[in-house]
Structure formats: structure tokens, C-alpha cells
Amino acid sequence: MAPSAMADIAPMQLPVYSKHSNKVNASVLHGPRDLRLEVRNIEEPGPGELQIAIKSTGICGSDVSYYKKFANGDLCACAPLSLGHESSGTVVAIGSQVNGFRVGDRVALEVGVPCGQCGICRKGRYNLCKRMRFRSSAKSIPHYQGTLQERINHPANWCHKLPEHVSFEAAALLEPLSVAIHAVNRASPTPGSTALVIGAGTVGLLTAAMARQSGCTSVTITDVDAGRVNYAIKKGFATHGFVVPRPSRSNSSVYTDSGSSTPLESGATTPASLFPSTIHDQLESAKSLALEILSLTKLPANLQDDDEDEGVDVTFECTGKEACMHTSLYATRPGGKVIMVGMGTPIQTLPMSAAHLREVDILGIFRYANTYGTGVRLLSAQRYCGAGFTLPSLDDMVTHKFKGLGAAKKAFELASKTVDDDGNLVLKVVIEA
């Protein structure tokens, strides 16, 4: 007798409903800096969904932009919006048609939910899905509400289990780490490559670390903030650091930054010229800046090859600023790559011949795809400090914590600065449950 076909079918997991109230507190943005604590209704998780009690949410630069302007670039919010998309939590309820999860599981949330049906999704590049819904973004209407809520229902397919030793704060930073992983995957550096990272915010730091993880022997990081560059070197995110001086107020459109900053340390490296206003002068300044950055890692004279062109193999531009793209193109060797990581100025004037005539590839990235599994494995490996490069502690990147959604406004105000009132570095601000 043939065995029963039922033997090959996994037992159905029955839904497990929440014992919590159907009311949750939520931090809701109604306009520029108009952040309110409200009570919302929450239903039981639907088919394929988990209900997650949010434990930790990191504040991203895009969140700060929405908080300040009720917009992020060209995306303007047209309805109240809960912010937050760097999050982790615990499973408190399970909907039908969900297998592999239990109440109490610790998870990181991948908050971009694609359609899963279109051609681009089927090719695995679901981050480019036209019907993508991304929490805390105003792109989709109605807006897909962010994670600054006590509990949310989220598709189980986009919840990633965590090892017990990984903190909720580190798990929340899997989101910016995913951006960095995706950027380095797009660059595909070979072992022994050299890299430059422009911008030492959270994504820039993690991109530098992932470049080192991929086998780059030299990774230089630059920023206008000396505190962040110093942190990058001290914690091992990069091998070299370069502090770019801030422009005069009259040229503030070239490099912009919010909040106060840590001062330049004595002897900090600065470029020979500052930031003139004409495009020709700006390009000349970018060339000069690129040369000074490259001088940090220049080989000794007896090891230099006269026929070898100067430049790094890969530049990761993590600011989105036009002037930084200029520097990126001039700092990259012929045949190298410039990876556009930061989203900033949407229309830029660039010296395209610097790329065209030297076959410098310019590659864009948008968020990430197929990266969370890699990120979880990297965090899991941090407890085993074996030979070779180990990803620096993500917990150390959390410089400030705020307790409860009621403290969200203070958290956003601090996240818009680079130092706190005591002069301490502000890197990643987290709101805890």
C-alpha cells in the first residue's frame, strides 16, 4: 500500500491570539515637529501575520527629515504618520497560515513589504518593487505606519528571528546594516581592494565596516565632524580617517549638517582650499580634496609604480551631497566604482568626463534586498572573536536611549544634532519600550 500523502503535509499551526488590549499607544506626526502621543485600535494578526511588541526603534535620518519638515526629499506626508523603521521586538500573537514562530520569539523587522508578484520581485530585487510599502514612508497612500507604536501586525515573512545574545538595540540596527551590506554587494570589491567612504553617519560607519569585512585592506572614512571620524578609527570601522573642514556660511549649500558638532582636534588633516562658489572652482577644490585624502594611504616611494593611477578601487558616497559626488569621482581610480548610497540632492551637476573617460562605474543603491539573513549571521558571529576582521559592536553605536513613546519628541530633537548638551557624540538615538 502506498504511504498516505498526508504524511508529507506539515501540521497546521493554529493562530495564537494576543492577551493584550486592542488599544495601543502610538507616536504620531501631524506636521513639522508636531508629534503627538495617541491611542489607536489594533486588530488580531491576520493570515500570515505576527503581532509584534516593539522593544527598540532607532531614529534614522529620514525620520528626522519627516519630523522637521513633514517631508523627506520629494515625499511629502499627506496624513498623520507614525515614524520609525529600524526596529526589533517580541512575538505576542500569531495569525493563521504562519509556521515557524512561537509567542516570545525575538525578531528584527524588515519593514519594506513588496508585492511579491511582479517581475522585479520574482528576480529577487524586491527593493525596487513599484508596489513596495515601507513603514514610516509617505510614498504609499495610505501611508504605511511606522514602528513607533506599542504593538504592530507585520507579515511573518518579513520578521527575522534573533539569537538570544543579540540585544534588541543591535537588532534594530540590522536595518542600516542591511543598507551597508547591499552597498558592498553592489560594489563587489575583491580581496585587497581599497575603499573610501564619504560620510561617517550610521550608514557610513557600517558601510566602512562591511568594506573591511569584504576584504578591503584600506578603508578611509571622511566627514565634516571630527568626533565621528575619531569614533570610526577608534572602534575599527575604518583604517584611516580624514576630517573635512566645514564651509563658510556663504557656501553652506555645498556641505550641510544640522546641529552643533565636535571641534577639530589639534593637527586634524584639512584640504588646501575651501569651498569656492563657481562650479569650476568647486571641481578644482574637489580634485584637491581627493588628492589629500588619497595621500593618507599612498604607498612609500620605493613601492610606487609610475604607471599606476592614483585612486581607490571603490568609493561609497553616503551623504547625497553634490560636492561629495565630485570628490568621489576624482578619488576613484580608472576602472573603479562609485556607489551612491546617500540620498540627498536629487539634481546635481557632475564632471561626467571624470567617469566616462576613465570608465568609472557609477552605481546606485536603494535600501536593500536579501540582506537580513547575512546581518543576523554577522551579529551571531560577534561573540566568537576569531582571526580576521570582526564587525564592531552595534550596541556601542547606540549613544543615547529614551524610554517610552512619550519621550519621542526629545529623542528626535537630539537625533538632529551631532553632540548633546554635554558635548558628547550623538550617533544613534534609540527609543525603547
Q: Please compute the mean of the pLDDT values over residues 80-91 and round it to a whole number.
A: 98
**pLDDT tens sequence across 118-142:** 999 999 999 999 999 999 999 999 9
Q: What is the rounded distance in angstroms from the CA atom of residue 413 to the CA atom of residue 381?
A: 34
- What type of residue is 201? G
Give the sign of the dihedral formed by CA 396, CA 402, CA 405, CA 410.
negative
Biggest CA–CA distance in the chain, Å, is 87
Model pLDDT, residue 309: 74
pLDDT of residue 268 exceeding 80: no
pLDDT, residue 189, reads: 97
- Calpha distance 419→424 (Å, rounded): 5
Contact (Cβ atoms closer than 8 angstroms) between residue 27 and residue 83: yes
Mean pLDDT computed over 57-76: 94
Higher pLDDT, 387 or 65: 65
- What is residue 252's predicted lDDT score, i.e. its pLDDT? 39
Cα separation of 178 and 216, whole Å? Answer: 18
The whole-number pLDDT of residue 267 equals: 38
Query: Strand pairing of 159-161 and 106-109?
Result: antiparallel
Burial (CB < 10 A; 0-12, 13-18, 19+), residue 169, is buried
Q: Which residues are bridge partners to 425 per DSSP?
A: 419
Does pTM top 0.75 for this prediction? Answer: yes
Quick one: cell of 240? 584611516
pLDDT at residue 1 tops 90 = no
* Helix or strand (DSSP H, E) at 64: helix 61-69
Cβ neighbours for 371, distance < 8 A, ≥ 6 positions apart = 177, 178, 181, 182, 185
Rounded distance, CA 201 to CA 88, Å?
21
Residue with the bigger pLDDT between 303 and 423: it is: 423
Mean pLDDT of the chain: 90
CA-to-CA dists, residue 40 to 22, 136, 146, angstroms: 8, 16, 13
Q: What stretches of 118-264 show up as alpha helix (H) in DSSP?
A: 119-122, 168-172, 174-187, 202-213, 226-234
Q: Is the pLDDT of residue 26 over 60?
A: yes
